[in-house]
Amino acid sequence: MLKSLWSGSVGASADADEASCSRAADEWEQDLSWLCELDLGDFHWGHTGSHFYVEVTYRAQIVEVSLGFWVKPTDAGWVVAGPSTLW
């Protein structure tokens, strides 16, 4: 999931000028400071009503990755499962 968030935000949003300053291939896994610039945006219910999606923003811009969650009934009540990453 972290790799999807990295690719969908920091990695994919780097233009030519930023590319020279972007982190080495594995460095983003060691230094997670880039996560501080991620935030959650709007959420949307799926068509069945059993799952919802949360938009992810990087530096206040919506990225092409969403987090998906499922709402499941259990004997003890309802639980939220996930997340999964969606493109």
**Tens of pLDDT along the chain (87 residues)?**
677 777 777 765 554 345 445 555 567 778 888 888 889 888 888 888 888 888 888 888 888 777 788 888 889 998 888 777 665
User: What tokens appear for 64 in the block?
Assistant: 């092409």
Q: What is the DSSP string of the chain?
A: -HHHHHIIIIIHH--HHHHTTSPPTTHHHH-GGGGGGEEEEEEEE-TTSSEEEEEEEETTEEEEEEEEEEEEEETTEEEEEEEEEE-
pLDDT score of 86: 62
pLDDT for position 37? 87
Please give the pLDDT value at position 17. 40
For the chain, the structural domain boundaries read 2-86
